[in-house]
């Protein structure tokens, strides 16, 4: 699909074949057994039987499937499944062969019954099956190999292969589209579909499988790219794209530029279209594209009676009075079953009454579902509530702008919004109908929380944590578990890991990701395949009780643009922090290191905005203002969607450093330090603003400020931030942007970013904007004027625009 197609990687417990046939062909009379496989001539793809294993080892409920996978990738990754909706039970011994009518079939070796067939209309029974180097399994006439009677490319599952068509055959009615898996262990038909717009527009839509209403669109093809994916117009280093429409067909194709590159495009269980590249260095798939970017944009991703929150993990949570319908499915990332009521509504369980005891509780600061019935008759909130209570199918109502809206049956697509108690919000309030029993439970729980907060029962909270720890330890001792995640979950959902567990997870701290101001960071993997980054701290010497308290306060700081703290370890003198692993590493790698994958302008601008939002949260929304003091590309990590996340925040308190006072010891990195560090005045959040401005210039230019020489009237070097300020005043922003983008830049955004950067690096901290102001500027909500030249910076670097070096 556009730019980068749609597939998904799923891990299975693959039974390694005892022997494998070194062939790519099945002839009439031959059979492929469960321990055999076909391998394409280039070795890239293999076809054979693979299995999924039950999560309960004592139950032998394995299902077998015929599929194609990436043969050169050590991490088993399915790309096509023949019998996705007809699994083969473990009691059956299947084989793949050519039947008497010429079709390729899966047979039960004992009963000889057909489990799956290509079902091609074949007039002669002399056929051959072959796995091509493209990953296409074809069935041809043995006497005429150029005549393709059937091909797997016409029947994709959740993955599109490079060179495969997605779209329609107008003559036969064949519709080549992608459909997600049901869950991580089940390749059967899932919830989401990616296919051509059935209205006739030349675009692809992501929709629920049984609906034509899209939740994301590529935009219409304009001859070069899809409107919603303008980055396709670049000289794409990965794919070349073609859209074809004629009397016979309408389809889209992506081809790989570098044939040695291994890629996969999927529509995965999450309902998102994703593209991955296999990196030999990391021995893992790296995601380079995903749409929609926000999980909650996917239709009904959390199922009924849930709230989806993009800024929290997990994204999906049940509403009050409801519990998860199928916990097993949720563990496998299939949450479409949603949540179910703890107690049936009174109007359902007691139909003989003329009134109902059902109550409403308020769900505040949410985005409401868009399928409400609007009622003009209700003049007040109480009347609106009564209208809902009078109909047993009514499950919720809202009363906004003097209008009554009610919802019937299941509630879908309720989304949590970030609301501030000090400012107006776009969030609305939903009044959810629950049984009187559940209402009182919710009410009592909230009352207890308020009382607990009001009385400041810190001792009780610590006691609760201690109780949780004791219970967890007792449970761990009473059962044998080989999971690494045997830690204790504390009050902030922060896990206390054992040191031996982290040694195991990190293979004794051998895979070093890097070293920072506070210690070395190592890559690790938990037994549930969760990737982690373990920071082994140097210099944190406080006692265990204080360390736990300070870690808990850091863990409470959560934002989509901040790296999430998962847990910690505190044993003896050992102090470690466990964070979520960022697979796309740090920003500096992509700006200054890896030139094979250039960040396009749109991605850069969104990164700049994301970092600004994260800093604004630290400065303005936390209970205590947090000054980072070391903002630079190395401390900006990128997740699978290239969402920027600030690392190493909140460490000053952990290391007993008070940056609100005048410092004699400078912390930070040369090139990003504000003048205050040198002049000796008190440190404020404006030091982060200065560092952000310096980093923003590097995002724009794609080069280090300290090693980005610019000619200015001569051949002498000029310090880039000073040069940028002059060029901005001259109106020549285009010369400042990374040349690797080949001019494919939104110059209005580039000028705005340059203005922001130059305001941020002003000499006087009072002249610099706050990070909250920066966010508003980059979002286009507030206008900004032309900044003055940072004279102190110019003088300190000994640079002048007239060519002084």
Return the sign of the alpha-carbon dihedral for residues 740, 742, 746, 747. Answer: positive
DSSP 598-635: PPPHHHHHHHHHHHHHHHHIIIIISSS----S--SGGG
141: left (phi over 0), alpha (psi -120 to 50) or beta: beta
Instruction: Report the relative pairing of strands 574-580 and 565-571 from DSSP bridges.
Output: antiparallel
Measuring CA to CA, how many Å separate 481 from each of 13, 487, 527?
19, 12, 11
d(CA 572, CA 567): 17
- Cβ–Cβ under 8 Å, residues 581 and 566: no
DSSP 508-568: TTTSEEEEETTEEEEEEE-TT--EEEEEEESS--S-HHHHHHHHHHHHT---TTBPPEEEE
d(CA 365, CA 799): 51
Which residues have a catalytic role annotated? 630
Locus of tokens 């099945």: 26
Locus of tokens 């790309």: 79
Locus of tokens 């499988």: 209
* Contacts (Cβ under 8 Å, ≥6 apart) of 756: 693, 696, 769, 774, 777, 778, 784
d(CA 8, CA 403): 43
d(CA 612, CA 696): 10
d(CA 314, CA 308): 9
Q: Where are the beta strands (DSSP E) in 113-211?
A: 114-117, 127-131, 137-141, 144-151, 159-160, 166-169, 175-176, 178-183, 186-196, 204-208
- Cβ–Cβ under 8 Å, residues 691 and 672: yes
d(CA 340, CA 305): 7
DSSP 37-90: EEE-TTSSEEEEEEEE--SSTTS---EEEEEEEETT-SS--EEEESSTTSPEET
Burial bucket for residue 382 (CB in 10 Å: 0-12, 13-18, 19+): exposed
d(CA 261, CA 286): 12
- Secondary structure (3-state) at 463: helix
- Cβ–Cβ under 8 Å, residues 507 and 484: no
Burial bucket for residue 214 (CB in 10 Å: 0-12, 13-18, 19+): middle
d(CA 27, CA 356): 70
H helix or E strand, kind and range, residue 667: none
d(CA 503, CA 497): 10
Query: Any idea what the Cα angle at residue 432 is, between residues 431 and 434, rounded to 5°?
Result: 135
Structure tokens belonging to residue 769: 């904007």
Locus of tokens 């509504």: 345
Residues present in the chain in total: 805
Return the sign of the alpha-carbon dihedral for residues 533, 534, 536, 537. Answer: positive
Instruction: Report the relative pairing of strands 428-434 and 394-400 from DSSP bridges.
Output: antiparallel
């Amino acid at each position: 699909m556009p730019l980068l197609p749609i597939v998904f990687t799923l891990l299975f417990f693959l039974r390694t074949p005892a022997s494998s046939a070194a062939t790519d062909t099945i002839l009439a009379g031959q059979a492929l057994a469960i321990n055999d496989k076909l391998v394409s001539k280039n070795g890239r793809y293999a076809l054979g039987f693979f299995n999924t294993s039950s999560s309960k080892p004592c139950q032998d409920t394995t299902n077998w499937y015929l599929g194609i996978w990436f043969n050169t990738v050590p991490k088993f990754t399915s790309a096509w499944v023949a019998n996705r909706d007809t699994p083969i039970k473990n009691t059956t011994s299947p084989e793949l062969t050519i039947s008497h009518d010429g079709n390729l079939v899966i047979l039960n070796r004992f009963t000889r019954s057909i489990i799956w067939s290509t079902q091609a209309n074949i007039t002669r029974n002399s056929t051959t099956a072959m796995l091509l180097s493209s990953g296409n399994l074809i069935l041809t006439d043995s006497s005429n190999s150029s005549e393709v009677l059937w091909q797997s490319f016409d029947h994709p599952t959740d993955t599109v292969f490079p060179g495969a068509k997605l779209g329609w055959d107008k003559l036969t009615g064949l519709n080549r589209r992608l459909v997600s898996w049901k869950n991580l262990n089940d390749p059967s038909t899932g919830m989401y579909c990616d296919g051509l717009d059935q209205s006739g527009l030349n675009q692809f839509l992501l929709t629920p499988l049984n609906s034509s209403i899209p939740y994301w669109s590529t935009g219409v093809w304009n001859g070069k790219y899809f409107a919603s994916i303008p980055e396709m117009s670049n000289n794409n280093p990965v794919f070349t794209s073609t859209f074809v429409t004629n009397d016979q067909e309408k389809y889209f194709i992506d081809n790989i530029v570098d044939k040695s590159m291994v890629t996969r495009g999927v529509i995965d269980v999450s309902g998102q279209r994703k593209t991955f590249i296999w990196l030999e260095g990391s021995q893992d798939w790296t995601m380079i594209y995903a749409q929609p970017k926000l999980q909650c944009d996917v239709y009904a991703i959390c199922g009924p009676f849930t709230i989806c929150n993009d800024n929290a993990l997990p994204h999906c949570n049940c509403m009050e009075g409801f519990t998860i319908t199928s916990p097993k499915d949720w563990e496998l990332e299939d949450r479409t079953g949603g949540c179910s009521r703890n107690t049936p509504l009174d109007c359902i369980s007691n139909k003989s009454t003329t009134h109902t005891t059902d109550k409403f509780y308020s769900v505040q600061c949410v985005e409401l579902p868009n399928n409400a019935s609007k009622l003009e008759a209700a003049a007040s909130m109480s009347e609106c509530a009564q209208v809902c209570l009078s109909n047993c199918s009514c499950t919720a109502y809202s009363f906004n702008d003097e209008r009554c809206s009610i919802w019937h049956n299941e509630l879908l697509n309720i989304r949590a919004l970030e609301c501030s108690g000090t400012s107006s919000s776009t969030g609305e309030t939903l009044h959810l109908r629950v049984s009187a029993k559940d209402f009182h439970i919710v009410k009592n729980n909230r009352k207890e929380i308020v009382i607990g907060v009001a009385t400041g029962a810190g001792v009780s909270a610590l006691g609760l944590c201690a109780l949780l720890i004791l219970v967890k330890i007792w449970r761990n001792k009473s059962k044998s578990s080989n999971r690494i995640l045997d830690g204790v979950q504390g009050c902030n959902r922060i896990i206390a890991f054992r040191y031996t567990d982290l040694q195991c997870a990190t293979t004794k701290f051998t895979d070093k990701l890097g070293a920072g101001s506070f210690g070395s960071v190592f890559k690790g993997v938990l037994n549930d395949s969760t990737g982690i980054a373990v920071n082994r701290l140097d210099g944190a010497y406080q006692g265990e009780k204080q360390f736990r308290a300070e870690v808990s306060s850091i863990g409470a700081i959560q934002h989509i643009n901040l790296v999430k703290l998962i847990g910690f370890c505190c044993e003896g003198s050992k102090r470690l922090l466990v964070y979520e692993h960022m697979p796309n590493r740090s920003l500096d790698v992509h700006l200054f290191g890896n030139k094979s994958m250039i960040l396009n302008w749109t991605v850069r601008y969104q990164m700049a905005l994301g970092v600004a939002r994260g800093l604004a949260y630290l400065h303005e929304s936390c209970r205590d203002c947090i000054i980072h003091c070391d903002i630079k590309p190395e401390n900006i990590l990128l997740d699978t969607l290239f969402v920027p996340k600030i690392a190493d925040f909140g460490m000053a308190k952990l290391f007993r450093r008070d940056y609100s006072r005048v410092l004699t010891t400078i912390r930070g990195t040369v090139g990003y330090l504000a003048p205050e560090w040198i002049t000796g005045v008190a440190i404020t959040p404006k030091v982060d603003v200065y560092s952000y401005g310096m980093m923003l210039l590097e995002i724009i230019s794609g080069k280090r400020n300290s090693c980005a020489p610019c000619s200015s009237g001569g051949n002498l070097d000029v310090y880039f931030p000073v040069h940028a300020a002059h060029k901005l005043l001259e109106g020549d922003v285009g010369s400042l942007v990374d040349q690797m983008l080949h001019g494919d830049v939104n110059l209005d955004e580039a000028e705005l970013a340059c203005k922001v950067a130059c305001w941020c690096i002003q000499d006087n901290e009072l002249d610099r904007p706050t990070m909250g102001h920066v966010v508003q500027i980059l979002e286009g909500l507030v206008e900004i004027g032309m900044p003055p030249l940072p004279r102190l910076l110019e003088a300190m670097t000994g640079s002048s625009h007239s060519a002084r070096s």
